[in-house]
Structure 1
């Protein structure tokens, strides 16, 4: 990521003020630009094309509702107006206009979940209209719709991804860093969606799981070395290229459990959508991976 002077100064100041000056080089290297979306109130369906979570989507009149391979109507989860997000996309990863809409099938099991990510052009978005959800969808529940407001955030490594040796000293440990972490991220009580950054998880292997399925079509066996070797084999034995592919996996969206909307991912977990950076930049939203994390 390319640091601006102001953001770099803000990060360094927060770290120095909290006795983490020793971690500045590490966090400048590993912190990512993110986008967080917060609920701002009930969805207004009289204004199609606005960013929304829960409720019903806006779709062009001639588009069919996404269906699972078993012929069930998928559940709509969120739509993101890309023009609204563009000013907050400091990594310049997303298209500048149009809309992304996220649907999901049955969230059992928690890996390789059937889903769809629909992308609309600006012209298609202009023609989109409110589309009530089918009476029965895969999640078997009705979710309340809320309008969203996006903002740019900094996303340091979370507890699953952080290098504790680079953070802890004799005087401060991760418990002290956690408060700084929350401050750096600028978390809000109404936050429900996160684009980019690090996925919420207990382990730092979500990108291995996603890359393995996207590149080889195989399910993850929870062995990182095995996944790396399988990806490398698919890439002609090039292990360095395999590592690069894993490192370039992008968390396209994280959807939190939320009582207002009605989302509850297993035991109050999160739902993830991942994509290869190459596919994201090419607008290939038909090549995504969906999984669920819950403690």
Structure 2
């Protein structure tokens, strides 16, 4: 996801304003394009098929409510109108129209969470209607619905992914870098979801975990080296391709804990959905990975 000329200019300006010239080449290379979604008020039924977090989904009549392997209705998390997101999708990764729906099953354990990501094409949305959540769903929770507004963002490496030797100096510590990050992302208190960018977490291995399951069906054992070996073996010994697959495993959506909505992922953590870039560009959402991070 290469930055365009306007993005590079803005990023360079912010880096210089915050006196991080020592990290300029590193940040220009490693800052990613992303999309952030901010709460824009309580959702009602008057506006069908707008982007929403929590509440109830607007589904076409032919769409079946996803069930867990035990036959329990999954819990609805979000719907994202892709036409609304298109103006913020400066990397041009998402389909230009249609709707994405996110559902989850029980969020334990925190890895390989049972879930579904559904896609409805634009023409199917003409007959969509608000579908009430079943009385009991997998998470046994009721969430308040909020409209969300997307905006294009720049996403520098976060706590888990940053190279500290590159950003810290005699005059700048990690606290200073955090302030720069907030300025770059234009962080807002109402931000509740992100697409692309860097996943929040403790370690820089979320893509390894997701890629390993998506490509081999194996669980991650917290070793990036062993994950790379297993993916390489699955791909006939092609390590370069394996590394590219890991790099091209993208964070499709990160959902924050939020008191107003009622989301609380373990100890106020985040919920992650990942997808292979190849599948995303092809509009295939039947092979995704879901996990949870909590401190």
Q: What TM-score does the superposition give when structure 2 sets the normalisation length?
A: 0.98
SS of the residue aligned with 1:134? coil
Per-residue deviation at 1:62? 2.3
**Cα RMSD for the two superposed structures:** 0.8
* 1:67 correspondence with 2:67: yes
State the 1:108 CA deviation. Answer: 0.4
The question of 1:92 aligning with 2:83 is answered: no
Partner of 1:27: 27
CA drift of 1:152 comes to: 0.4
- The corresponding residue for 1:256 is 256
Partner of 2:16: 16
Question: Matches of 1:16 and 1:123 in 2, distance apart?
Answer: 47
Q: Establish whether residue 270 from structure 1 lines up as the match of residue 273 from structure 2.
A: no
Q: Structure 2 matches for 1:131-150, cutoff 5 A?
A: 131-150=131-150
For the 8 Å contact 2:3–2:33, the answer to whether it is kept is no
CA offset at residue 34 of structure 1? 0.5
Say which SS state the counterpart of residue 266 (structure 2) adopts: coil
- Check whether the contact 1:59–1:125 (CA below 8 A) recurs between aligned residues: yes
Superposition pairs of residues 242-253 of structure 1, within 5 angstroms: 242-253=242-253
In the aligned structure 2, how far is the partner of 1:174 from the partner of 1:189?
21
Which residue is 2:49 aligned to? 49
Q: Deviations over 1:112-134 (max 9, x none)?
A: 00000000000111111000000
Distance in 2 of aligned mates of 1:106 and 1:293: 14
Q: Which piece of structure 1 moves more, 189-198 or 1-10?
A: 1-10
State the alpha-carbon separation in 2 of the partners of residues 278 and 64 from structure 1. Answer: 26
3-state DSSP class of the match of 1:38?
Answer: strand
Distance 1:37 1:207, change over 3 A: same
Mind listing any 5+ residue stretches in structure 2 that lack a counterpart?
Answer: none
- 2:283 matched to which residue of 1? 283
**Per-residue deviation, residues 74-114 of structure 1 (Å, max 9, x unmatched):** 00000000000001101100000000000000000000000
> Gapped runs of 5+ residues in structure 1?
none
TM-score between the two structures when normalised by the length of structure 1: 0.98
Q: Once the 2 structures are TM-superposed, how far is the Cα of residue 10 of structure 1 from its aligned partner?
A: 1.6
1:219 matched to which residue of 2? 219
Tell me if structure 2 keeps the 8 A contact 1:55–1:76: yes
Runs of 4+ in 1 over 4 A off after TM superposition: none
Q: CA deviation at 1:67?
A: 0.4
Structure 2: distance between partners of 1:19 and 1:175: 13
